[in-house]
Amino acid sequence: MADLPHFERKMSDAEGLMWRLEKDPYLSSTFANVTILDRSPDFDILLRRMELATYRMRRLRQRVQSVPANLSAPMWVDDPNFDLRYHVRHIALPKPGTMRQLLDLASLIACDPYDRTRPLWQFVVIDGLRGGKSAVVQKLHHTIVDGEGAVLFSMQFLDLQREVPEPPPLDPSAFEHEAADAPEHDLWRELLSGGMRMPLGVLRQVKDLLADPTGIHEAGSAAADTVRGVMQQLSDTEGARSPLWTQRSLQRRMEVLRAPFDATRDAAKRLGGTLNTAFLAAAAQAAGEYHRRLGSPVDELRASMVISTRTEQSGANAFSLARVLVPTGDMPIGERFATIQAATSAARSATTNGSMDTLAALASTLPTSLITRLARQQAQTVDFATSNVRGTSLPLYMAGAKMLENYPVGPLGGVAFNLTLLSYDHSLDMGVNIDAAAVTDPELLRQCLARAFKALAAA
């Protein structure tokens, strides 16, 4: 089991921040996957595989235990009432079983709040999809894992072929050493030692400098660099640029699309950049076309992008967020690509000191009401969000059913829409999570995205 990711008992500061931000439903960090299967999976086999997965990946059997007075990030503790069938469910669509019906149902499942007294995940097998197909909606809270970690999770219940031998009978006693809770005094030692990414001395200097930035030139380099990064992040209060996407609500709409992996990657190489730049360039082109089609052209929009900071096989979240102005006017794809390539490089550098972990460590000292207000304020500076998750080029199977398509659905976090990409079996599968009050014509947005990726592949 050395290949399994390692999970800490205590949330990181960033995970603790995401947990506290859930007080505002607009800032929910739940994400999901909608997986299309060529047939219904064998549900009994899936249950057995998932039960084994919950022992190998202990986080799936753990609930959140808050720390008194928010002295530190919450702890993960084993759920003594864990019930696998609460988390893995089996339902069916009514006829005719269209993709639209599936996506509307998946959106409701993804938006449904968690029971905070239970582990924060849910799998729903959905039969009745047209053509004899089925689907699985996989829903996880971001405090459990990020997108790359979710791919590691999935390896516990997916196969490389349709027919695989049954695993040996589960022996829970083999995992007892992992399940045992630490003694109370060990939990308090973990709590009091703190999980902050910054040394306490640096953190104290940072707090003092934030109160009086005139002392930056006299401070140590670590504290000064951190303060500059934090101030750059928090002082950016310029509003989002879209004249159309001005409303925000809790109404959701889900759309999906696919693009060829090889053609898109090759186009990115010809244009002198990466697949991630191509992804953001296509999103910017689609957003610009959407505005032009509705009679409100706009030259620039502000996008956020997820930057992975993963350096080891850890189960914890490992990412930062960067904001970047992207050109959305009518222009050649090569010019748009080059502009975005330069902008994303600068944004990556700017987030080094003002990283999410740094901000979260500072936020841990603030009241929840204040950090939710600050987070909502920062969300209002962004038009749309993007995330790119690396998957696998091989076809996969789930309990005897072949995965045909695999669409990720990222959290909105107060923006107009989130476009998340997951590579699978030589395809780029994309989920668009849309605030229906902001994007009033979601089908048009999907069409614009499809055209943008087609144009990019032909560049």
Which of 3, 20, 50, 33 lies closest to 399 in space, CA to CA? Answer: 50
Q: What proportion of the chain, given as a percentage, has pLDDT over 90?
A: 57
What's domain 236-389+416-457's architecture?
A: 2-Layer Sandwich (3.30)
The pair of structure tokens assigned to 444 is 């048009």
Q: Number of helices and strands (H, E) in the chain?
A: 15, 14
* Average pLDDT of the residues in 218-243: 60
Quickly list DSSP for 203-252.
HHHHHHHHH-GGGGGGS-HHHHHHHHHHHHHHT--PPP--SS-----S-E
Query: What mean pLDDT, rounded, does the chain reach?
Result: 84
The structure tokens 């988390």 sit at 87
pLDDT value of position 309: 55
Domain boundaries, the chain: 236-389+416-457
pLDDT band at 70 (very low <50, low <70, confident <90, very high): low
pTM attached to this predicted model: 0.84
Report the C-alpha gap between 65 and 74 in whole angstroms.
6
The pair of structure tokens assigned to 365 is 């000292």
**Among the listed ranges 193-197, 333-337, 346-350, which one has the minimum average pLDDT value?**
193-197
Residue 367 burial by Cβ neighbours in a 10 Å radius (0-12, 13-18, 19+): exposed
Report the C-alpha gap between 140 and 32 in whole angstroms.
6
* Average pLDDT of the residues in 147-152: 72
pLDDT value of position 185: 44
User: pLDDT tens, 358-407?
Assistant: 666 666 666 777 778 888 888 899 999 999 988 899 999 999 999 999 99
Highest mean pLDDT among 55-69, 197-211, 228-242: 55-69
One-letter amino acid identity for 322? A
Chain centroid, CA 111 distance in Å: 14
The answer to whether the CB of 334 falls within 8 A of the CB of 267 is no
- β-strand pairing of 62-65 with 30-37: unpaired
Report the C-alpha gap between 24 and 338 in whole angstroms.
37
* Average pLDDT of the residues in 174-192: 53
One-letter amino acid identity for 154? S
**Among the listed ranges 154-163, 319-328, 346-355, 362-371, which one has the minimum average pLDDT value?**
346-355
- Phi/psi-derived region of residue 295, left when phi > 0, alpha when psi is between -120 and 50, beta in every other case: left
pLDDT value of position 459: 83
> Which is more confident, 21 or 311?
21
Backbone angles phi, psi at 348, to 5 degrees: -60, -45
Q: How far is CA 107 from CA 81, 143, 252, 304, 441, in A?
A: 28, 20, 7, 22, 17
> Which is more confident, 403 or 175?
403
The pair of structure tokens assigned to 105 is 């149902």
pLDDT value of position 97: 98
